[in-house]
């Protein structure tokens, strides 16, 4: 990606539970609806679910696997990981089915529905603001966004032979790594390992942004709001890439905090 660096493709990161991050908060835009709490939720979910995934590990940039002749950076298929190794059409379908039916797919929308139910947009009608039915609508909205986005992403990747996994940067420079993660949202890799337009990200963001036009209340189902939701969806794809890129550092911080907490608990028991 940068001149002077060794052009070695890192091992791709399997699709992780971070995929739910892309739809946890991309809801709707309104002057009456603040985004601050959504950013906090994204950070919590990204770190919590992302670092908890034991299968989504970064590989050193100088040690790519070489068992796949079409793309030396992709490791051999691992039967224990539905989204690992070289993904042909059948394995892509298996990966999509596995992720779509995971518990995170159904828990994720709660991180959107709960805070929005506590403070719904002022322009929403009563049936979207109060009572169990309102919560069901908000939860269904979040679930619909995620389903539309992930399904579109899968079908696009399948049809255009696009590898939907994230490839960490070869550089160790934090700034270059961040730039790589941002640009990877627009230019990812094909099944053969070559750079390609990330059509799946653009189309899935559009699907997640416009799906709400079919059922959202009047005033929130117009093209303007849908376009804004689409931009938010794409923004969370960028955020997901950044978390995947710096996952080792996040894990290190999480481990340090965990060990410190255990030491503090031990000291308090001794006192």
Average of per-residue pLDDT across 61-78: 37
- Tens of pLDDT, residues 34-43: 444 444 444 4
- Tens of pLDDT, residues 101-159: 889 899 999 999 999 999 999 899 999 999 999 999 999 999 999 999 999 999 999 99
Per-residue pLDDT at 168 exceeds 70 = yes
- At 163, the pLDDT band (50, 70, 90 cuts) reads very high
Ranges of each domain in the chain: 17-265
Q: At 164, phi and psi to the nearest 5? A: -85, -5
pLDDT at site 64? 37
pLDDT at site 265? 62
Mean pLDDT, all residues of the chain: 76
Structural tokens at position 168: 């960490």
pLDDT at site 256? 83
- At 62, the pLDDT band (50, 70, 90 cuts) reads very low
Per-residue pLDDT at 80 exceeds 60 = no
pLDDT at site 84? 79
More confident residue, 179 or 22: 179
Q: Of all residues in the chain, what percent carry a pLDDT higher than 90?
A: 53
Under 8 Å between Cβ of 183 and 196: no
pLDDT at site 271? 56
Structural tokens at position 162: 């696009």
Per-residue pLDDT at 270 exceeds 90 = no
Among 35-44, 163-172, 173-182, 237-246, the minimum mean pLDDT is found in 35-44
Q: Of all residues in the chain, what percent carry a pLDDT higher than 70?
A: 65
């Amino acid at each position: 990606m940068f001149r002077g660096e060794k052009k070695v493709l890192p091992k791709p990161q399997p699709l992780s539970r971070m995929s739910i991050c892309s739809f946890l908060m991309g809801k709707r835009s309104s002057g009456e609806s603040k985004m601050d709490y959504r950013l906090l939720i994204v950070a919590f979910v990204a770190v919590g679910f992302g670092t908890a995934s034991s299968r989504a590990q970064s590989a050193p940039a100088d040690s790519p696997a070489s068992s796949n002749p079409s793309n030396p950076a992709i490791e051999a298929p691992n039967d224990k990981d539905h989204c690992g190794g070289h993904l042909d059409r059948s394995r892509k379908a298996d990966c999509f089915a596995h992720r779509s039916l995971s518990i995170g797919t159904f828990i994720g929308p709660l991180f959107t529905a709960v805070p929005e139910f506590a403070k719904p947009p002022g322009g929403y009608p009563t049936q979207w603001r109060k009572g169990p039915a309102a919560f069901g609508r908000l939860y269904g909205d979040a679930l619909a966004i995620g389903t539309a986005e992930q399904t579109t992403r899968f079908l696009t990747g399948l049809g255009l032979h696009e590898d939907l996994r994230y490839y960490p940067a070869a550089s160790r420079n934090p700034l270059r790594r961040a730039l790589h993660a941002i640009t990877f949202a627009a230019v990812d890799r094909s099944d053969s390992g070559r750079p390609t337009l990330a059509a799946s990200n653009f189309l899935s963001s559009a699907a997640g942004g416009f799906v709400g036009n079919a059922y959202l209340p009047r005033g929130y189902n117009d093209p303007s709001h849908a376009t804004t939701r689409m931009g938010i969806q794409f923004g969370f794809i960028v955020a997901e890439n950044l978390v995947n890129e710096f996952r080792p550092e996040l894990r290190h911080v999480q481990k340090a905090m965990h060990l410190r907490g255990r030491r503090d608990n031990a000291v308090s028991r001794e006192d």
